[in-house]
């Protein structure tokens, strides 16, 4: 597959710097569609986040028109869906390359894309215009299910499952026709788990404890297990392709990380079962496995340092690499540091259900998943423009650098501001006031809380500015660039380490 890249005809110089879908294989042409919708939904996430944030400061704003619950629902749903679009796109991007053959069922895959996109559009329009319904089954089937993160109405659940099955068929059949590798093996098994887990969220129960028990199977097993492994597969492929890392090593390390992540993450689910009516043994199980969850991160730190010294990588896509570095730090701080801060039950009893969770959520989702998807967008646009030069000295480099800076400063700023509010809330509401409604509102009125919310909004605007700049950069980067991309080469440094 690398030989393929090297042997690319040089006659394409004329097309370089222009969007040229002929440069892409069928999977990649589909991928850029998914990426385009992902970016639109990313914009929607930011927009509705700003509206919801503003309502903390001005509760009258859009009251009874576009209430907080609607804005917040669109904010988090747009996030989940754009990340899934990014993942699906990333897998389509690499599937032909990794399998060494053409995408199986490309027409069906295209149809599935349009069906899914149409369904997402209808769901969002219903969220915004119908908003809520009467307390009957048909509201859950047609309007929204009212369960955080997986609010999509039941009809859409079936649509999502159908589309995911098509996606799974495309990917698995392509690997079957072509060749399997360690990466594709992990990827396909992970996709089965990812799709299967969604079914755990597709039923109604009057019992809120039962409801939340299975709801966490979907949410936790997605974001703290299967999504992480999916990202691991994409990273593994990316390391081989863009840095020329060796497949055997990358694959071994993918297995090591899977063992560490699933080893700590599956029962790490226990940290969501402290307070929902589930038995007390979850306090011990959840606490213990949460303490193990930083281990995969420590492994990544050591391995990254080792790799940087043993190999001198020449990188051909600077914005993508910068976003991958942001991913490494974001994942470490968002999931590792911010997670462990309040995950143990003796602390979580105060922080659960306060702005602490919002603080952790903002940094972790951004650091672990937004960053890697943005890196993939840059990898895609480079190829789409005819494999153009995107190394040092690229034109208008300030755009991607400022987009990177603004987005990271914005999200970190929001995270810290929410942490200040969260601390005040857990202290005043829980510790001092006995967790009553009066205590809740006393905390919400507190000066530290209000200040935190104010600064969260300011940093929200910074994030929004970064997003706009990012979109502008993705549309324009490499336009008119005639230099070809540098080929990824790996120079073996002296094996000083032994």
Partner 1 sequence: MSKTPWWADENVWRKTAIWVTALMLVALILLTFDSVAKITAGSDRVPAYSVINHRIYYKMDNDRNMQVPVIGGQAPLFGTVLSEEQAQAMVSKGKMTVQAKNCMNCHTLLGNGAYYAPDLTKAWLDQGWGAEAVREQLMVNFLLDPEANARGYGTTRKMPDLDITEEEARAIIAFLKWMSAIDTNGFPRNFKPIAQEGE
Partner 2 sequence: MTDPVEAQQIMLATMAGALVVMFGAIYAALFAWSRLRKRPAWMPAAYLAYLCLAVATIVLARSLHLSGFWSTVVFVMLFGYLLAPHAIWHLCVGTHESAHKTADTDSRNPLNGGQTNE
Q: Between residue 431 and residue 470, which ones bind partner 2 under the rule CB under 8 A?
A: 431-432
Judged by CB under 8 A, the residue of 28, 71, 117, 181 near partner 2 is: 181
Q: Does 451 bind partner 1 (CB under 8 A)?
A: no
Tell me how far, at minimum, the Cβ of 496 lies from partner 1, in Å.
Answer: 19
| Distance spanning both ends of the chain, measured CA to CA | 31
Q: Does 172 bind partner 1 (CB under 8 A)?
A: no
Tell me how far, at minimum, the Cβ of 310 lies from partner 2, in Å.
Answer: 6
Q: Which stretch binds partner 2 (CB under 8 A): 133-141, 195-203, 421-429, 441-449?
A: 421-429
If contact means CB under 5 to 8 A according to the sort of partner, which of partner 2, partner 1, none does residue 332 touch? partner 2
Binding mask 35-74 for partner 1 (x = CB under 8 A): -----------------x--xx--xx--xx--xxxx-xx-
Q: Which stretch binds partner 2 (CB under 8 A): 39-47, 174-182, 372-380, 441-449?
A: 174-182
If contact means CB under 5 to 8 A according to the sort of partner, which of partner 1, partner 2, none does residue 306 touch? partner 2
Closest CA to 372 of 164, 117, 168, 82: 82
Q: Which stretch binds partner 1 (CB under 8 A): 161-169, 173-181, 258-266, 473-481?
A: 258-266
Q: Does 263 bind partner 2 (CB under 8 A)?
A: no
Q: Which stretch binds partner 2 (CB under 8 A): 102-110, 141-149, 317-325, 333-341?
A: 333-341
- Nearer residue to partner 1 within complex by CB, 440 or 454: 440
Tell me how far, at minimum, the Cβ of 241 lies from partner 2, in Å.
Answer: 11
Chain position carrying tokens 């404890």: 209
Q: Which stretch binds partner 1 (CB under 8 A): 18-26, 95-103, 291-299, 427-435?
A: 427-435
Q: Does 1 bind partner 2 (CB under 8 A)?
A: yes
Instruction: Count residues near partner 1 (CB under 8 A).
Output: 89
- Nearer residue to partner 2 within complex by CB, 193 or 465: 193
The total of other beta-carbon atoms located within 10 Å of residue 63's CB is 11
Instruction: Count residues near partner 2 (CB under 8 A).
Output: 61
- Nearer residue to partner 2 within complex by CB, 184 or 382: 184
Q: Report the alpha-carbon distance of residue 105 to residue 112 in Å, rounded.
A: 11
Strand partners, 313: 490
Q: Does 256 bind partner 1 (CB under 8 A)?
A: yes
Q: Does 310 bind partner 2 (CB under 8 A)?
A: yes
Q: Does 100 bind partner 2 (CB under 8 A)?
A: yes
Tell me how far, at minimum, the Cβ of 149 lies from partner 2, in Å.
Answer: 25
Q: Report the alpha-carbon distance of residue 286 to residue 283 in Å, rounded.
A: 5
Q: Between residue 231 and residue 260, which ones bind partner 2 under the rule CB under 8 A?
A: 240, 246-249, 252-253, 256
Q: Does 7 bind partner 1 (CB under 8 A)?
A: no
3-state secondary structure the chain: CHHHHHCCCHHHHHHCCCCCHHHCCHHHHHHHHHHHHHHHHHHHHHHHHHHHHHHHHCCCCCCCCCCHHHHHHHHHHHHHHHHHHHHHHHHHHHHHHHHCCCCCCHHHHHHHHHHHHHHHHHHHHHHHHCCCCCCCHHHHHHCCCCCCCCCCCHHHHHHHHHHHHHHHHHHHHHHHHCCCCHHHHHHHHHHHHHHHHHHCCCCCCCCHHHHHHHHHHHHHHHHHHHHHHHHHHHHHHHHHHHHCCCHHHHHHHHHHHHHHHHHHHHHHHHHHCCCCCCCCHHHHHHHHHHHHCCHHHHHHHHHHHHHHHHEEEECCEHHHHHHHHHHHHHHHHHHHHHHHHCCCHHHHHHHCCCHHHHHHHHHHHHHHHHHHHHHHHHHHHHHHCCCECECCCCCCHHHHHHHHHHHHHHHHHHHHHHHHHHHHHHHHHHHHCCCCHHHHHHHHHCHHHHHHHHHHHHHHHHHHHHHHHHHHHHHHCCCCCCCECCCCEEEECCCCCC
If contact means CB under 5 to 8 A according to the sort of partner, which of partner 2, partner 1, none does residue 101 touch? none
Binding mask 349-368 for partner 2 (x = CB under 8 A): xxx-----------------
The total of other beta-carbon atoms located within 10 Å of residue 168's CB is 16
Token pair listed for 129: 């215009």
Judged by CB under 8 A, the residue of 17, 43, 105, 146 near partner 1 is: 146
If contact means CB under 5 to 8 A according to the sort of partner, which of partner 1, partner 2, none does residue 497 touch? partner 2
Q: Between residue 188 and residue 247, which ones bind partner 1 under the rule CB under 8 A?
A: 204-213, 215
Q: Does 446 bind partner 1 (CB under 8 A)?
A: no
Residues 6+ apart with CB under 8 A from 168: 188, 191, 192, 195
Q: Does 479 bind partner 2 (CB under 8 A)?
A: no
Interface residues toward partner 2, by CB under 8 A = 1-3, 100, 179-182, 184-185, 188, 240, 246-249, 252-253, 256, 280, 283-284, 288, 291, 294-295, 297-299, 301-303, 305-307, 309-310, 332, 336-338, 340-347, 349-351, 423, 426-427, 431-432, 495-498
């Amino acid at each position: 597959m690398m030989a393929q890249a090297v042997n690319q005809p040089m006659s394409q110089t004329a097309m370089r710097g222009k969007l040229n879908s002929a440069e892409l294989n069928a999977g990649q042409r589909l991928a850029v569609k998914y990426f385009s919708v992902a970016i639109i939904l990313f914009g929607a996430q930011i927009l509705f986040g700003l509206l919801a944030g503003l309502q903390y400061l001005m509760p009258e704003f859009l009251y009874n028109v576009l209430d907080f619950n609607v804005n917040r629902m669109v904010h988090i749903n747009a996030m989940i869906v754009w990340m899934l679009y990014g993942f699906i796109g990333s897998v389509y991007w690499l599937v032909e390359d990794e399998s060494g053959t053409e995408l199986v069922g490309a027409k069906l895959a295209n149809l599935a894309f349009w069906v899914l996109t149409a369904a997402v559009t209808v769901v969002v329009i219903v969220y915004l215009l119908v908003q809520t319904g009467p307390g009957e089954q048909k509201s859950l089937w047609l309007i929204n299910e009212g369960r955080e993160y997986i609010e999509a109405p039941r009809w859409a659940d079936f649509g999502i499952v159908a589309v995911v099955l098509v996606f799974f068929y495309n990917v698995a059949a392509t690997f079957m026709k072509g060749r399997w590798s360690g990466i594709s093996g992990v990827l396909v098994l992970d996709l089965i788990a990812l799709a299967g887990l969604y079914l755990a969220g597709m039923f109604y129960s009057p019992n809120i404890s039962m409801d939340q028990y299975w709801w966490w199977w979907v949410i936790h097993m997605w974001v703290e297990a299967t999504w992480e492994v999916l990202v691991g597969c994409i990273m593994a492929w990316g390391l081989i392709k863009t840095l020329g890392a060796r497949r055997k090593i990358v694959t071994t390390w993918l297995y090591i990380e899977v063992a560490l992540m699933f080893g700590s993450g599956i029962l790490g689910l226990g940290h969501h079962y402290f307070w929902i009516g589930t038995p007390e043994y979850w306090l011990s199980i959840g606490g213990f496995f949460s303490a193990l969850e930083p281990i995969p991160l420590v492994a990544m730190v050591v391995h990254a340092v080792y790799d940087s010294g043993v190999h001198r990588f020449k990188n051909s896509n600077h914005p993508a690499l910068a976003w991958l570095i942001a991913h490494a730090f974001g994942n470490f701080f968002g999931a590792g540091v911010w997670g462990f801060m309040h995950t143990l039950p003796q602390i979580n009893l105060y922080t659960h259900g306060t702005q602490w969770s919002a603080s952790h959520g903002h940094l972790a989702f951004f650091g672990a998943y937004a960053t890697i998807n943005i890196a993939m967008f840059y990898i895609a646009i480079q190829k789409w423009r005819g494999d153009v030069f995107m190394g040092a000295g690229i034109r208008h480099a300030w755009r991607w650098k400022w987009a990177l800076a603004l987005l990271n400063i914005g999200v970190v700023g929001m995270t810290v501001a929410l942490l200040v509010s969260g601390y005040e809330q857990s202290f005043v509401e829980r510790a001092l006031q006995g967790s009553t409604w009066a205590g809740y509102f006393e905390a919400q009125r507190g000066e530290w809380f209000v200040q935190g919310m104010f600064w969260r909004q300011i940093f929200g605007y910074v994030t929004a500015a970064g997003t706009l700049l990012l979109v502008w950069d993705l549309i324009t980067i490499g336009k008119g660039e005639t230099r070809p991309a540098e080929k990824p080469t790996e120079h073996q440094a002296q094996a000083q380490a032994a």
